[in-house]
Chains A and B, each alone.
Chain A
């Protein structure tokens, strides 16, 4: 068990705080991170978590089969709320999937070197979240056997998708996002897969990692292209991250429904996505660093930085909530104003106030330094943010549809047990994939962590102690 020997949360402007604690050398970094996936058995907690996740993933599969066998009537989706849980869950999961690429691409372009400790599993989380997200609109189609109609593939109707619909833009945005995130994750992992291949002690491991490492051997001629490719991918992924949730928000903003028809939606959705994504990264990072002793890599400084981002994006989301009200009032449209007054004080007021308290009020605790550095506090806040962000999507979708223009067609949405179990099941799928990733793949980008260590600077003294150099930022 290593202890924090250096307080890297203290900012001294004359000296960069080290990002890797514990007086590591390159070899010990490799050893500490590889040993997680090389261990004969993972910790007992992993087995327990995996068993629970697997059960819920199974429930997810059973619920989807039941849905296919019976029809979408098994859900609470009912006139006038035709977009119930499936779309709420879709937007929730796709939002979570934004943190990974934000950390890997945008923070990379901004040269935020602290991202190296968390980018690998934030990216993994992104991919698994997008898998969960993509499932929901897929099973929401009703006639799943003709789901290929959403792609521009010649079909028996001799018709094509209607490219002026935001729902179709979603197909392209989410599809591109998934592909690019997967490529980014995989390319970043190539050198680390090669490390696992070179350390493999059994033939099976050497072959499995060897095939996926593609024969990577750390040639500087390859690194040269690799670094350029990584930079280009980051530059491509940055506008992509911003576009994906903007396109998702168009699903609503382009419609005429009061409460949806708002120009603030794209930036508001993007801020919310980053907010919820970071909360989920924290929710996974805190147990992972405790369980596998990664405190030297995911240091208190990393956690504090993420808490600051949660505070900022949470406040942006709060600003968007207020601005929506202002716009509704200022528009002079009685329908707009009713939609928002109804959100806060109507039949769904309980959901609205859960959303406001979890997303806006509670994260304000991160103004205090002790809260940003207290594991229990930040874990609890992040769980509540996850909850609040799910309710945000619920509030936007359900309250707007349940009471729109005609009082005679108003209704109240109630989810069925299938809705609830499908939502719980999607968490099971997400956690199952994430736990498998933790077990078999390098959880931390070893090559990148070595790159930011002070000893990696070829112009400095070899073997410097961390903290004596200015290489780490």
Chain B
């Protein structure tokens, strides 16, 4: 591990399409997206992430094959607003359940919902037209349904997914981010980013390799 930038890319994984122009790993021909630093253990990336945050970088991220406990705190990620969005989705479901059942089973007025519709008063065994207890199961199920769909959709949208293309995914070394390696990426748009300085900084954090990412 003398000079990490010149370490050859891992050869135990045959590549699908080798680059047309042979070049040094990390040598960027197109526009620079950022720098990629590889770490071998959760403990190593934990220490490194703390240092990157302390150095004041804003546009950076860690990539791990599984959620490393406490790494989000080390990166200074604030709690997500996801739970509130899920609650809103769940309440929407509950209201939908109430309105749907009330309109279709306990009213008889015309309305417009995509097509003209009319309520229908069901008289069952002389019971009141609108008796909430019998409507609870459907309200409950719709609450759960809306909340669950909202939860997954919001989780993806807040993360800007689906987004099939990403500069990281072009990097041969980065493919192990879903296997057994841990990565820190500092983006070139960060105000503190300087190619040489940031590269030296990442090396000083104990990275086993530092490479440039092409945008």
Seen from chain A, the residues whose Cβ lies within 8 Å of a Cβ on chain B are 25-27, 30, 152, 154, 158-164, 166, 168-169, 172-173, 175-176, 179-180, 183-184, 186-187, 191, 194-195, 197-203, 206, 210-211, 214-229, 232-233, 236-237, 239-240, 243, 247, 250, 446-448, 450-451, 455-463
Contacts and interface: CB of A to CB of B under 8 A. Distances in A.
Given A30-B180, A162-B124, A218 B65 contact: yes
Interface in B47-80: 49, 61-72, 75, 77, 80
Contacts, number: 234
B76 to A, nearest CB: 11
B4 interface: no
B41 A233 contact: no
Nearest to A453: B66
A191 B66 contact: yes
B159 interface: yes
A187 B154 CA distance: 12
A176 B72 contact: no
A210 B151 CA distance: 22
A446 B155 CA distance: 21
Given A191-B178, A219-B61, A236-B151, A448 B66 contact: yes
Given A27-B179, A222-B159, A451-B67, A163 B135 contact: yes
Contacts of B122: 160, 162-164
A195 B178 contact: yes
Contacts of A214: 156, 161-164
Contacts of A218: 63-65, 177-178
B29 to A, nearest CB: 22
B21 interface: no
A433 to B, nearest CB: 22
Given A25-B180, A198-B179, A228-B80, 15 more contacts: A26-B180, A30-B65, A160-B105, A164-B127, A215-B161, A215-B162, A219-B159, A220-B75, A221-B77, A228-B155, A232-B147, A243-B137, A455-B41, A458-B71, A462-B43
A195 B65 contact: yes
Nearest to B169: A217
Q: Is the interface of B mostly helix, strand, loop or mixed?
A: helix
> Which interface class (under 10, 10 to 19, 20 to 34, 35 or more) fits B?
35 or more
Nearest to B133: A164
Given A216-B161, A220-B77, A447-B65, A459 B169 contact: no
Contacts of B83: 228, 232
B65 A191 contact: yes
Given A154-B115, A221-B77, A228-B80, A247 B137 contact: yes
A359 to B, nearest CB: 27
Contact of A158 (B77, B120, B179): B120
B207 interface: no
